[in-house]
Chain A
Amino acid sequence: MSAKLLFGLLALALWTSWLCFAQGALVALGWPSALLPDLVLVLAIVLSARASEGRALAALFVIALVRAAFGVEGPLAVLAAFLAAGLALEWLRRWFDFRDPFLCASSAFALSLLLGAWWRVVSAGRVWRAGIAVDWGFTPLLGAAAVTAVAALALAPLLARLPGLRGLWRRAA
């Protein structure tokens, strides 16, 4: 592993942890979860669009680990969600260029919706074990997915310019 890649991954871990913290702080301040953008997911899409083939997987794995560390949900559930998102991005980027703002926003919307649905499934199991009825309302998921898509449109260029990540980009980027 080159020093450049290592530095890039460390910087990525740092930025991901700050994004995770910021999202958690927003929730603690009373920001409605239905309007909470998943900035970590947007960062993963940005990275998948720009990282070289060999480095994208390592970078997505770092994002999944950091996000799992911050979750109140069990680390395995978070890890599974972000590994699946990473796998989907890795597969889709063969056909699509996520540097295109519209594609970036669309994929953010779709993946946010899938992640939200997964959190609901995991939550449902826990709530059901506690002996209360499961709330399957999916409207908040649509809201969160839409806000994530807007965040992807607005913030993707900024996230791509975060200091320290250049070591992960492919040369043409």
Chain B
Amino acid sequence: MNRSRALGVWLLLCCAAAWLSVRPARVLTPAFDSAFAPLRACVDLAAPALLLCGGGMRADAADARRTLLEGAKSSDVRRALARLAEPAAAHLRAGRHLVPAEVLQRAEGARDVLSVRVPGEAIGIELGDPVVCGDAYVGRVSAIENFELGRISVELVTDPAHGAGALVLDAAGLPVARLVVGGLYARSRARNLAVAVASSSELAEGSAVRVASSAPPLYEREALADGFVLGRLKSEADGAWSVEPVLDYENGLSQVCVLLPERSARGEEVLAEHALSDARWLSTRALTLGDPGGVRSGFLIAAGVQDGVESGAVVWSRGALVGRVDGVSRWYARVRRLDDPGCAILAVASAQGLEPIVLGRLVSLGSTTSGGVRLRWLRPRVIAGDGLEQLQVDLYTGSGEAGLPSGLYLGRALLPVDGGDEIALLRGSEGLLDVDPAEIWVRQTAAGETPR
């Protein structure tokens, strides 16, 4: 090949790589992953340097024990979240068997369908069984995905095809009108629920809207959802009515409850063990300590597709979650740390004496000068803080995204109570961004999980 032809091929390669890096083509990703897999050999050339930095030493028993202790701490949060998902009002608990269910992920290609898991097998659960979170209505069971694994699909009330019967109550709690609620009101940014049919035009803004099953019911057990809260009526600019929901259906669901009749075939519900106890945690080591460009925050690990690791998998070291897998080839994976701008995670805050607060999605804005991490809270809200400007909390992962188990410790943080949207993850909280190159754990992908 002569020089000008070589330069032409070079230019073509350069342009193609630049174009595909800005506009990634998903269909080509597996091919590129395979093509770049042998580059692991280049990374291994630096192994002696890594050894000099302590990358070849195994962690001691004390460190492993600390990891276990943090795991035990996380199970408290999971239990508290499960408790929070149960109805608080006595009349909403009466005559019902509550089945706790952890939100796993959104269904592929259907944003309004959740995939959830109940303890043990899906015994006694039928299509149409209502699903709630606290005193609020979430949706209904739409499919049994895997009976043995207890995985079911839940159609949210935000699905346009849902159609939940509801009553509008006046200030005295008396019914004034019937509604059919389902889907999102499309002409507003506020993500309110759409009102399809109203039995009366005499409606008042701010009236409470509660579920009331239709007669005859669409599903046999639909009436179990009667009395659960949907939200408050809102008058829209175009004269239509919507319902301002009490739940954040996009980011605020971590644990839910399936309602069954009191005499169900299910026994006592036993919650799953804490997130670190499942067998999918793979011990691995770091191949590098940081990004040579200095722009990204992350490192490479010695586990890849052949070890069951996929993009989005969580990475754990020294008692805390340190980041998520951003790209993976056959023999190694790239990990972005929590302080890498744009790194997103579902989170739950836990403070002493308070119930856990489901924060939803947090996105990293980068590290602070003091070494902490600034996190953008995408759906901020006001929190009771006893006159404080910020509340010191422990952050844990929330559930609702494939590959992200709930209850993993993230670190200590300062949470704004006045509706501010920036959370500071503090440096000095145990484990924050502190990676032991020889003791890294990555969670393998389970069958049916498709991490983002």
Using CB atoms and an 8 Å cutoff, list the residues of chain A in contact with chain B: 13-14, 16-31, 33, 36, 38, 40, 53-54, 57, 61, 65-80, 83-84, 86-87, 90, 115-116, 119-123, 125-127, 129-132, 135, 144
Instruction: State how many angstroms separate the Cβ of A13 from the closest Cβ of chain B.
Output: 6
CB under 8 Å from chain A, chain B span 320-348: 326-327, 334-336, 340-344
Q: Which of B34-42, B155-163, B191-199, B271-279 contacts A (4 or more CB under 8 A)?
A: B34-42
Within the complex, the shortest CB–CB distance from B76 to chain A, in Å, comes to 30
Task: Tell me the complex Cα distance, A131–B327, Å.
Answer: 20
CB pair A68 B326 closer than 8 Å:
no
Q: Which of A18, A79, A80, A129 contacts B49 (CB 8 A)?
A: A18
Q: Which of the residues A14, A25, A73, A131 comes within 8 Å of B296, measured between beta carbons?
A: A73
What are 5 A-B pairs at a CB distance below 8 A?
A: A66-B45, A71-B292, A79-B13, A119-B296, A129-B342
Q: Is B446 an interface residue (CB 8 A)?
A: no
New contact pairs (18) apart from A25-B288, A68-B39, A80-B14, CB-CB < 8 Å: A20-B292, A24-B299, A33-B294, A65-B39, A68-B36, A70-B300, A71-B296, A72-B300, A75-B32, A77-B22, A83-B10, A83-B17, A119-B296, A121-B22, A125-B22, A126-B342, A131-B376, A131-B378
Please give the distance in Å from A168's CB to the nearest CB on chain B. 16
Contact between chains at B42 and A13 (CB < 8 Å) = yes
Please name all residues of chain B whose beta carbon is closer than 8 Å to the beta carbon of A119 when the two chains form the complex.
293, 295-296
The minimal Cβ–Cβ distance linking B120 to chain A, given in whole angstroms, is 36
Say whether A72 contacts B18, CB under 8 Å.
no
Assuming the contacts A18-B46, A90-B7, asked whether A36 and B22 have C-beta atoms less than 8 A apart, the reply is no
> Which secondary structure characterizes the binding site on chain B?
mixed
Bound Cα distance from A25 to B6, whole angstroms? 35
Size of the chain B interface, CB-CB below 8 angstroms: 54
Q: Quick one: which of B22, B42, B294 has the most chain A CB within 10 A?
A: B294
Confirm or deny: B297 has a beta carbon within 8 angstroms of a beta carbon on chain A: yes
Chain A nearest Cβ from B291, distance in angstroms: 4
List of B residues within 8 angstroms of A130 by Cβ: 342-344, 363
Task: Name B43's contact: one of A17, A61, A80, A86 (CB within 8 Å).
Answer: A17
Determine the chain A residues whose CB is within 8 A of the CB of B22 once the complex forms.
77, 121-122, 125
* Minimum distance in angstroms from A128 CB to a CB of chain B: 8
Contact between chains at A21 and B49 (CB < 8 Å): yes
Residue of A nearest to B13 (CB): A83
Q: Mark B76-88, 1 if CB is under 8 A from A, else 0.
A: 0000000000000
Residues of chain A contacted by B300 (CB below 8 angstroms): 70, 72
